[in-house]
Structure 1
Amino acid sequence: MLMTEPVNRAQQLYCLEKITGLPLPLSVALYRHYPGMKLGQMPLVDFFSRELALLAADIMRNDVAPSGPGWVITAPAYYSLPSAANLLARQVCKLLLQWGHRVDLIEPRLNQQQIAVSNLAEFRQSNDYSKNPSQTRMAERQRVHALAGKDTQMSAFRHRRVMIINDIHVTGTQQKFMQAAMQDASASETHWLYIFHVEQGLAQQHPEIEFQINSNGITGLDSFAAILADEQTQYTTRCLARLFSEEIEDYRYLIGALQAGTREKILQLAQAEGRYNHSIFAEKMQLLSARHVQMAEKQTMEKEEG
């Protein structure tokens, strides 16, 4: 379903589904597939990408200036690990190119300071934003924004029509800061494409809706372990953050359920992401290394037998 809310002529918001009330229809495909997509399950990323690409193509068909510069597809900035929105943007761009549209993919990046954490409480707050009220979300976005350096890729948005792919619009905090960045970059138009858009009044009363959607159907360790072990999972920032947020015993169980090659892959990605090299994650990073594999497997077997 196409929903659109014009902010002004140069700024439009579209979504596949607008959420206007509770309870949520969590058994419907959009809601059922969403949590796995957030963690990087590529078949589910492809499911949503096609829907968003069809929406993007419809916008292009109604373009009043088709002879101008081609469109730009983008998503929120990331450091090393992509978010689900970045995976969606890549797939949407790929589909649009296959369908004959003129589009470019631009991926703004964060710097190390913007993703760094100094303690576990700060880490959990930054990664459990879906549980946070509007004021906390705003404070976190302001903190990240204040640490931003000059991203040379932003100049590529100048005088371009931009489609920004994202997964959910709740409080609008992230969009506010990104819109300001696009205006500073002199983008001529910004079109926001979301899977879900929570109606403003409902979002203000229930900002935890996002957490409810994120955790739908993936509540136990075994369901999460299956996603981690799936060869079709491309680990996202959310996926690794969830893993490293687990209590140590649950973390041991999860990595003990994984093959050595999978553990090594996660270790390399965590090292590249940077924030997990902090001393607060030392024990968990060590447990991923090869010399601790047998110990983790033994503890997993004991837990299963118990």
Structure 2
Amino acid sequence: MAAARLLHWGTVWAGGARRSWGQWARAGDGVRKILGKSTFFRRGFTLSALSYLGYEVYSLFSQSAVAHASIKVEDIIEQADYLYGSGETEKLYQLLAQHKSSEDAELLWRLARASRDLAQLSSTSEEEKKKLVYEALDYAKKALEKNSSNFAVHKWYAICISDVGDYEGIKTKISNAFLIKEHFQKAIELNPNDATSIHLMGIWCYTFAEMPWYQSRIASLLFTTPPSSTYEKALHYFHMAEKAEPNFYSKNLLFLGKTYMKLDNRKMALLWLMKAKDYPAHTEEDKQVQREAVELLNSV
């Protein structure tokens, strides 16, 4: 992802290239957290158990609606987290969509996440993407109504609000920016150790600190007090995220370096950009981080 330069609350804009807020969030819900904290591993199950679980998940899809209704919420969540950690986006959506009428917030925010993740797939048509984006917001909103004390509900509600910004127009985008900030802050309040929510709050601050003067002017015409921030605030959140979970996300390392560059602190910028460059590339996004870090290092 490139630096957020243009005002956009459905996505973070980067000199014309757009990155969705949800891409930042995925780091905090990735494989290492699923495999590190699932009850299966806490109970000492081996990898063979995961293979068996995969079969169980597959079998679940062939069950009748009555059989699905009898399954415990905890079991569905465990299966959903396994599929999420395995990157099985479509199967995860199919599993959770069968329980879209659930009143359980834990299921609903996961369904919101699965819906917007499915929307992000390159194979998803633009028409279907729009449908899924609004669908995700509906699930997140319902989850919030059912349990407003769940940090993950607030995090994914904020992400889903930002996604609909692509379809709502600039005034709604600006208005949504306040709401997005509110729910990221609430997520952090409810779980001060969730590095992903903290990182996303840093991205919010960085975005508005970097907002060009002409866009600030437009925002001022629409709102008496438009959203704004500083690089110092962004830096605060990026460091908070590192403190909560060191080296949890290559993007956080990159943005620490980029923020220090904005603050003209060359020494610290070099330190964090080097860390971003040397971060093990497990995903395509990590590789993109490495490339951007190298480019920035050559320019410092």
| Class of the TM-score when normalised by the shorter of the 2 chains | 0.3 to 0.5
**Structure (1 or 2) with the greater helix fraction:** 2
Asked which structure has the greater RCO (Cα within 8 Å, sep 6+), the reply is 1
**Structure (1 or 2) with the greater strand fraction:** 1
What is the TM-score when the length of structure 1 is the normalising length? Answer: 0.32
What is the TM-score when the length of structure 2 is the normalising length? Answer: 0.32
